[in-house]
Amino acid sequence: MKRPLATALAFASIAAVSVTGFGMPTAHASTPATGVSAAAAASTTTDVSAMRQKFNAYVAGMDLDAATRTKLEAAGASDAAFTAAGKVAVATLQAGLTNAGVDRDANPALNPGDYECGPTAMNAWVKDQVAQIDPTSWSWYTNGILGLSPDLLVQYWTLMKTPSAPRDTSFGPSGSATNEMARTFGALQNFWDIDGSGIALVSYDAKLLADTPEAAADRAVVYDGISKISGFASILLRLSVESGILSGTLAGFPGGVDNPMFSVNSFAIDPTHATGDDKATLDMLGVTRRIAMGQGLIRMWDDLGLGRVGDRAVLAHEYSHQVQYDDNLFVTDITDEAEATARTELMADAFGTYFTVSKHGESLNKAQTLQDLQTFYNVGDCGFSNPGHHGTPNQRYRAAEWGADLAKSQSDQGHVLPSLAVDAAFEKALPQITAPDAN
């Protein structure tokens, strides 16, 4: 499933084959340079000029080959050139992320009027969390300088970091979900008929933004990686992030680096199934096969009263994407991008719930099964035209319900269906799952 993105690098290409976000509605809303932050974001002509001078001073002090120097100096030659280069850099790093559900505009391909769709408890929770963050700090996180934001840094780090790092094995507030995540992950590896031995489970969090030598070393790894994609992006990202950290911008987030809004997301990535330029980029960044679970997302399920089920449901959903990679289930005849994405996302909801309800999976009871369905309802979105559209709340609920029914209807409760058999049944059910539902 190739997407017509403008660039062949970084998240753009990664997204085309491998990144499957869980449907975060707001965190990546980065219109370059709309924020006003004394520390980092540049929103006025004066700010742009000041940032450009910083950039030029930085470049002047670098040891560079002549061609690279010429390129970077051209980018810093005028405010207009600087702004234009920033736009290209953001597009390069962020193209894939814009698929994550930011655009909630109504749509040409489907008719939103036919679908019951509205804000869920998750939307209200997100709004409430953002309201508690200092606006300047939030602007820094989402916009940075010319759109090169700490948000991008955190996401690249989640892709690039070594899965076995000791500080990455803890999940939930004070590690409360660590055992459950490890156990469920092991159960998933046993349950599905793919070789999941090479898949790692990593934490998605913002600890690398801390003002400590360890965190600074982690950040340096990302700057180095991104410099291989775009020298300009790497320098600007470094200036953006480091100036914000130095000026204490993190103090504007309740809980500092542990604020949940840094990581209300999750994704699955499988570089082993990437090809061509995509593969080259992933290899260059050292990305290995993984599932990243957002600490903020786990915190959110706790706050919404779905803590014992929501995190397992999300993990099962992400693991289903790994099954899709192995089974080549991303391939489809559907030409509309939003519809194609919704198909694989709804399939992951269905596969995930088949696992959580099955006797050989998590064996959820009736009340917990309902919480599983509510989990998927909550992460539904109404971005019908967005290429990252994951399905409406009702569709996601119905897809999960379909998976639960499949598990319960099996006469032999000790038997786990082959993943391709689950897919064949799901493809038949999809039209009903996505049928218009408004009265």
Binding site for Zn ion (CB under 5 A): 20, 345, 348
DSSP-derived 3-state class of residue 176: coil
Tokens linked to 368: 């917990």
Task: Write the DSSP string, 22-37.
Answer: ---SSTT---TT----
User: Positive or negative CA dihedral for 128, 129, 130, 134?
Assistant: positive
Q: How far is the CB of 234 from Zn ion (least distance, A)?
A: 29
CA distance 400 to 93: 32
Q: How far is the CB of 23 from Zn ion (least distance, A)?
A: 7
Q: How far is the CB of 314 from Zn ion (least distance, A)?
A: 9
Which residue number, 350 or 429, has a Cβ lying nearer to Zn ion?
350
Q: What b/e sequence results for 235-244 when a residue is b if at least 16 CB atoms lie within 10 Å of its CB, and e otherwise? A: bbbbbbbbbb
Q: How far is the CB of 245 from Zn ion (least distance, A)?
A: 31
Which residue number, 20 or 322, has a Cβ lying nearer to Zn ion?
20
Which residue number, 82 or 426, has a Cβ lying nearer to Zn ion?
426
Q: How far is the CB of 22 from Zn ion (least distance, A)?
A: 5
Reading phi first (left if > 0) and then psi (alpha if -120 to 50, else beta), residue 256 is in left
Residue with tokens 């470094």: 238
Q: How far is the CB of 280 from Zn ion (least distance, A)?
A: 25
Q: How far is the CB of 345 from Zn ion (least distance, A)?
A: 5
Strand order in the sheet with 266-269: 200-204, 290-294, 266-269
Name the DSSP class of 98: G
Which residue number, 1 or 62, has a Cβ lying nearer to Zn ion?
1
Q: How far is the CB of 33 from Zn ion (least distance, A)?
A: 30
Which residue number, 20 or 358, has a Cβ lying nearer to Zn ion?
20
Closest residue to Zn ion: CB criterion: 20
DSSP-derived 3-state class of residue 349: helix
Tokens linked to 215: 């965190």
Which residue number, 147 or 391, has a Cβ lying nearer to Zn ion?
391
DSSP-derived 3-state class of residue 203: strand
Q: How far is the CB of 257 from Zn ion (least distance, A)?
A: 26
CA distance 265 to 296: 7
**CB contact set of 412 (below 8 Å; sequence gap of 6+):** none
Which residue number, 219 or 343, has a Cβ lying nearer to Zn ion?
343
CA distance 155 to 236: 16
Which residue number, 154 or 323, has a Cβ lying nearer to Zn ion?
323
Q: How far is the CB of 340 from Zn ion (least distance, A)?
A: 13
Which residue number, 25 or 35, has a Cβ lying nearer to Zn ion?
25
| The Cα angle at residue 346 between residues 329 and 13, in degrees rounded to 5 | 55
Question: Do residues 185 and 201 touch, judged by C-beta distance below 8 A?
Answer: yes
Which residue number, 7 or 18, has a Cβ lying nearer to Zn ion?
18
CA distance 39 to 244: 5
Name the DSSP class of 168: G
Tokens linked to 234: 């790497």
CA distance 25 to 6: 23
CA distance 271 to 317: 18
Q: How far is the CB of 317 from Zn ion (least distance, A)?
A: 6
How large is the greatest C-alpha to C-alpha distance in the chain, in angstroms? 71
Which residue number, 47 or 423, has a Cβ lying nearer to Zn ion?
423
From the list 145, 1, 46, 29, the residue with the least C-alpha distance to 94 is 29
